Amino acid sequence: MVTQTDQQAERSLDELVGIAKQVSSAVQTVISGKAGAVRLALTVLLAEGHILIEDVPGVGKTQLAKALARSIDCSVRRVQFTPDLLPSDITGVNAYNQELREFEFKPGPIFANIVLGDEINRASPKTQSALLESMEERQVTVDGSTYQLEPPFMVIATQNPVEMEGTYPLPEAQRDRFMSRISIGYPDRVSELAMLDSHGGGSPLDELTPVAHASDIRALVAAVREVHVKESIRRYIIDLVNATRTAAELRLGASPRAALHLLRASRAHAALDGRDFVIPDDVQALAIPVLAHRLLPSAEAMVGRELPDQVLSSIIQRLALPSR
Amino acid sequence: MNRLAVTAAGAVLLASLSLSSVIASAGWIVTGAGAVAVVAIAGALTRRPRLPAAVAATFLVLIALVPLLTRPGWADRSVALVILVITALSATGARPLRGIAVLASYLSALLLYLNVTFAHSASLGLLIPTDSSMSALARLWEAAFAEFRYAPPIPDLQPVSLVTAAGIGGVAIAVDILAVRLRRPAVAGLPLLLLFSVPVASNLKVFGFPQMIIFAVSLTGYLALLSADGRERLRMWGRLVTFRHIQSADEPGSGPDTRELSASGRRIGLAAVCLAIVVPAILPTVRARDLFGAVPTGTGHGGSHSTGVSPLLRVQNLLEGKPQPVLSYTTTAKDPAEQYFQVYALNYDPRQNDWPPPTYSGTRAPDGPKLPWAVPGVLASTPATKVTTTITISSSDTGEAILPMPYAPVRLDIGGSGWLEMGGSLTVFDPAVTMPDLRYTVQSEEVSPPPADIPNYLGPPASISTAYGTYNGPDFGQLRHIAVEHTRGATTELQQARDLENWFQSGAFTYSLKPNLPATNWLLSFLTTDRRGFCSQFAQAFAILARTLGIPARVAIGYTAGTPGPGNTWRITTADAHAWPEVYFAGEGWLRFEPTPSGSRGQGTAEVPAYAGGGGSAGRQQGAAPGDSSTSSTGRLRGIRGRTLPNRDVHLPGGGQMTASTRHAGSKTGFALAVAIVLFLLIAWPAMTRLLTRRRRWLTASGDAGIAKAAWRELTDDLADYGLPCGPGETPRGVARRVAREARLGETATAALSRLAAAEERARYARLPEPGTGLKAAVLTVRRAVAASVPRRQRVRARLLPASTVLAARQLLQRGSEMPNWLDSPWPTVRRRLREATARRAG
């Protein structure tokens, strides 16, 4: 017995999987051999989160962001963060219009569907927090007037973990606002060879044409919200987050916001699999990308070179699955 | 002085309370406390800065060494000077020097204290020890060890006080060094244990409620020491600060999470308690106390102590232990193998229903040096052979200084003047002498008349027949009936005694060092049903049966003749320890009998004396032949002139050997059957449980979700059985992926597995479950495929010993072991309530 709403959900899910696959393959024409990173980026987009890409220079952080933005027919703005960048350079300013004799709001680069913040750690904390505020609230307030940001809205921030001199690394509170952190990593031999071939002549980014529209994405986001999460899965998420708080190897555990992010991302992950219900596999697959960047290892764990990633995977292994 | 040192001293003092059950009255506690205090003060002095500590140590050592320094001769003086110089040089801070100085100051302080307390009259100005005060202490010390020979509680005499104070002081030094100086309070438990073990090591068998209380109180000292050390350590580090999580007051459970740790601590405790209960229950120990009754303790006023250990029990201990040399001797006896060495003789005490150790009351010094003694009951006209035996006690024997001598000794050649004789019993001892390497010569009179010469018309004197000729213990009627039954037809007392001996020797009884006799009324059971025992039982049984017939009898303790060694020397080991009955014949005195079987199936070197039917050397050859007791006993019977007794013991009325062995065989079969059934159940139990679980699971499963759940449970159990158990965090599809890879499943099996995983997934997490049809078949498919992929051994194991049931049992055990954790649960609630209450009051 299948109800009307179920049929609708089924239809939109099928549609979603089709579109997502198109977007994914489009992005992969630019970034080859990184299906996991691309899928994660899509997951975060559908879960209405933001991504922090942390990796060494030249592995394709910006390329990934650009390809994702371009494969969806939506507005993309890129901000190169520098130490002298001001908050108003991001949010926009009220400028005096000589003709109309009044102040007119000139929107900044934040007013786009996808905002690419390159090397976010180079900007001053003041500017960083301006960006992060609008990320969280999905609105900008300038001189007392509030301007809503159009959905879909996703910030893709990149950060270079190696070159740290003269930068302002994001503090824990700010990192917590990103739904997920992605490390792209070096491509394998075959992919790197393929990249030399395809990127040798011109940029494949230029040849990329949009395969989905912003309205499609909005519909898909709505569909993701409908994905069913059983009580036991919610409890599992809470257990997982709690385990990071009591683990001896961690000095700082995951926040309640992290639990929320994990739930949303799991929904999107399930939806991308064509499922209308979340299973523990979704949670487990996303635990490290969603939680690891929020955790701080204890001094002993640091000495033992035990990264939060490893701690998390051992927690996942040990934590009993929710019974029904 | 710091808190830890005070706690350590307190712990020693409390631990020494456990000595109170060994030593009568309480004067020693004061001197012991003084020793502990002196040691604590000395310890505090050694922990002063380098220079003052060295000065104090030098001063102490100088005073303590005065006796050595003032002694003539350079050897002592130079040793003293070296110690003094080392102590003085410790001011330089060199480590080994300081160590010696510390030890020297502790010991000096203790010595000075003992000197002032016990030998101040001989000291210089009541304080400084002198040569004479030292020798006074030494005398006291030696005298104390003479006291310790007796059963506790020991009277609180000055010598005992000295040794106790010195012992407590020594333990206090060890504890102070370990706990305060080396900061190892846990190790300091070992010297404390020494104090606890004193009452245990003694033969004090009293352990009642007061002892329990004393033990508990004593133990608190040690616990306080441990906790004081813990606090001290924390204070050294300061407070533990974590910035990981600041807890607000209303949040439960502040502080680090130690639940896991305390849970495992409790588990260890539980296991220890279980072991402490189980191990003694399993170990096959004879409850000696029940067999022989409690050891009577002396009154504690000197003069009438009893020897410590129950003699019969001691014989058993000696026989059970590894043979140790006791003595060697040369003798002029005609047949040395018949010559037993008696240590002392026991009389039956109806009040205790036991044979208590001899009392030393009424001791007398021999009438002159090594004088001839009159042997009780022997007339001057009785023919006797004079035998001279020279005995050397081996150095390993540290037992009581009671001389083993051939009965009856009439002349003794031995050094020392303190030898005493025990109330006319011809038992000779000296409490002030230790046994090792004693050498003495005994002249004894071997009364060995031909059997017919023992008269029965002369009755024993009244004193002997009242003391030894009656039996007022339990089961008199039955015992007398048995005695009469087996001596029917005998006309003389000698004949009666021989008949009894023959009965015991006839093969109706089995020699065993591990008799399984009941604690009460063991004698009747030994004589009628059990019939297994060793010399103690045989000797007691013989003596009591003889007494029920009115024949005076006692039990002698000592050694058999041992084995001949090189030359003329005979050797006696602890394996020759023995108990035998002696019967009193007017005019002949006490004559020994031998009811205990000899040879390889009995007491190896036991010998039946000639007058009692023994065949001398020839008979011995026969009698010692293993397993040939009937022949030898017949031989003995023939030796009795004028009478040929039928070997009637084989046809004993009322169940002899045969009945016993048949019954034994019957119970054996039953036991074997029971063991087989239990074994079968044990072996079959896991497999049966597994089958039942499977059946129940499929029968109770209902609805699509229920069937999916049952199928998945069944599958995970199967996987566990075949050695592919699932982890706690493994998801259904994770399991499917791993199993397909590890078991290298085929396409059909992989599809079935995926189907099961998907069904379980949907049943658990989706809005609606999948239809459950075909899941049972899928489980079967997967089980077969997995079984085919594992080695044969694993397959058999999965059938016979399925891991899933074993795991379930283990979980059950785990839960059981976590039971003590329930103790924990009320605490947070109680603490929260308290906090709330205080907050309310403050608010």
Residue B456 pLDDT level (bands cut at 50, 70, 90): low
Q: By mean pLDDT, which of A203-212, A262-271, B302-311 is the weakest?
A: B302-311
Nearest C-alpha in B relative to A315:
B729
pLDDT score for B462: 78
Q: Count residue pairs from A and B with Cβ separation < 8 A.
A: 56
pLDDT band at B283 (very low <50, low <70, confident <90, very high): low
pLDDT of amino acid B650? 33
Residues of chain A positioned with their CB less than 8 A from the CB of B245: 245
Cross-chain residue pair A317–B729, CB shorter than 8 Å = yes
Q: List CB contacts (< 8 A) between A251 and chain B.
A: 243-244
Interface of A with B (CB under 8 A): 228, 230, 232-233, 245-246, 251-252, 275-281, 284, 298, 316-322, 324
Average pLDDT (A84-98) is: 84
CA torsion through residues A101, A102, A103, A109, sign? negative
A228 contact residues in B (CB cutoff 8 A): 765-767
The answer, for B731 touching chain A at a CB cutoff of 8 Å, is yes
From A246, A284, A321, residue closest to B728, measured CB to CB: A321
**pLDDT bracket for residue B363 (50, 70, 90):** low
Provide, as residue numbers in chain B, all residues whose Cβ is less than 8 Å from the Cβ of A246. Answer: 257
Over 70: is that where the pLDDT of B793 sits?
Answer: yes
Kindly determine whether residue A319 and residue B709, on different chains, have CB atoms separated by under 8 Å: no
pLDDT in tens, B373-396: 677 777 767 777 888 888 888 755
Are B709 and A324 a contacting pair at CB < 8 A? yes
| Peptide bond just before B597 cis, omega within 30 deg | no
State how far the Cα of B279 lies from the Cα of B285, in Å rounded to an integer: 11
Percent above pLDDT 90 for chain A: 3
Are the C-beta atoms of B581 and B347 separated by less than 8 Å? no
- Please say if the pLDDT value at position B609 is more than 50: yes
Q: Which top CATH class is A227-324?
A: mainly alpha
Task: Place B11 in a pLDDT band, splitting at 50, 70 and 90.
Answer: very high
Å between A204 CA and nearest CA of chain B: 36
Nearest chain B alpha carbon to A232: B765
Q: B244–A324: do the CB atoms touch at under 8 Å?
A: no
Pick among 3.30.70.100, 3.30.70.1560, 3.40.50.300, 3.40.50.620: CATH of A4-226: 3.40.50.300
More confident of the two residues B598 and B78:
B78
Residue among A279, A316, A320 whose CB faces B765 most closely: A279
Which helix (H) or strand (E) covers residue B812, if one does?
helix B803-817
Q: A278 and B727 in contact by Cβ < 8 A? A: no
Q: What pLDDT was estimated at residue B631?
A: 36
pLDDT of residue A323: 66
Q: Inform me whether the pLDDT recorded for A213 exceeds 90.
A: no
> For chain B, how many helices (H) and strands (E)?
28, 16
Question: Among residues A5, A291, A39, which one has the least CA distance to residue A184?
Answer: A39
B400 pLDDT higher than 70: no
pLDDT averaged over chain B?
Answer: 76
Interchain proximity B765–A232, CB inside 8 Å: yes
Q: To probe the interface with A, which of B765, B767, B768 has the most A CB atoms within 10 Å? A: B765
Query: What letter does residue A276 receive in the DSSP assignment?
Result: S
Q: What is the mean pLDDT of residues B123-135?
A: 87
When CB atoms are compared, the residue of A233, A246, A252 closest to B765 is: A233
pLDDT tens digit string along B624-670?
Answer: 333 333 333 333 333 333 333 333 333 333 333 333 344 445 566 77
Asked whether the beta carbons of residue B731 and residue A280 sit closer than 8 angstroms, the reply is: yes
> Over pLDDT 90: what percentage of chain B?
7
Q: Reduced to 3 states, what is the DSSP secondary structure of residue B203?
A: coil
What pLDDT is recorded for position B534?
85
The C-alpha atoms of residue B565 and residue B562 are separated, in whole angstroms, by 9
Judged against a pLDDT cut of 70, whether residue B345 lies above it is answered with: yes
Whether A280 sits inside 8 A of B762 (CB atoms) is: no
ipTM strictly over 0.90? no
Q: Is residue B729 within 8 angstroms of chain A, CB to CB?
A: yes
Least Cα distance to A80 among A91, A89, A69, A71 occurs for A89
In chain A, which residues have their Cβ closer than 8 Å to the Cβ of B731? 279-281, 284, 321
| Rounded Cα distance, A171 and B546, in Å | 101
**pLDDT single digits (tens) A95-119:** 888 888 888 888 888 888 888 888 8
Q: CATH 1.10.8.80 region(s) of chain A?
A: 227-324
B763–chain A Cβ distance below 8 A for any pair: yes
Residue B617 has pLDDT above 60, yes or no: no
> In this predicted model, which residue has the larger pLDDT, B491 or B823?
B491
Dist CA B116 CA B38 (whole Å): 12
B762 and A CB contact within 8 Å: yes
Instruction: Spell out the residues 6+ positions from residue B420 whose beta carbon is closer than 8 angstroms to its own.
Output: B360, B363, B364, B365, B366, B428, B429, B430
- Per-residue pLDDT, A68: 84
For CATH 3.40.50.300, list the domain ranges present in chain A: 4-226
User: What pLDDT, on a 0 to 100 scale, did the predictor assign at position B369?
Assistant: 45
DSSP string, B19-77: GGGTBSSSHHHHHHHHHHHHHHHHHHHHTS-HHHHHHHHHHHHHHHTHHHHHSSSHHHH
Mean pLDDT within B693-710: 87
**pLDDT digit string, tens, across residues A65-74:** 788 888 888 8
Domains annotated on chain B, with CATH: 3-238 (no CATH), 453-555+580-588+600-663 (3.10.620), 685-819 (1.20.120)
Per-residue confidence (pLDDT) for residue B42, from 0 to 100: 93
- B275 burial (CB, 10 Å; 0-12 / 13-18 / 19+) is exposed
| Average pLDDT of the residues in B546-564 | 87
* Distance (Å) from the alpha carbon of A302 to chain B's nearest alpha carbon: 15
Which amino acid is residue B634, in one-letter code? T
Residue closest to B26 by CA, chosen among B221, B160, B166, B208 = B160
What span, in angstroms and rounded, lies between the C-alpha atoms of A155 and A114?
6
With an 8 Å Cβ cutoff, are B729 and A320 in contact?
yes
Per residue in B21-80, pLDDT tens? 777 777 888 999 999 999 999 999 888 888 888 999 999 999 998 888 888 878 888 888
pLDDT band at B247 (very low <50, low <70, confident <90, very high): very low
Of residues B232 and A86, more confidence is placed in A86
* Interval B575-599 mean pLDDT: 85
Q: Give CA–CA dist B523/B538, Å, rounded.
A: 10
A-chain residues within 8 Å CB-CB of B763? 324
pLDDT of residue B110: 94
Q: Which carries the bigger pLDDT value, residue A202 or residue A248? A: A248
Q: Which residues of chain A form beta strands (DSSP E)? A: 51-54, 72-73, 76-80, 92-97, 102-107, 114-118, 139-142, 145-148, 154-159, 180-182, 212-213, 250-252, 296-297
- Reported confidence tier of residue B458, pLDDT bands at 50, 70, 90: low
Average pLDDT over all residues of chain A:
82
Mutate to test the interface with B, among A281, A286, A296 (most CBs of B within 10 A): A281
pLDDT value, residue B106: 94
Q: Could you tell me if B243 lies within 8 Å of chain A, comparing CB atoms?
A: yes
Here the tokens at position B320 are 């059970």
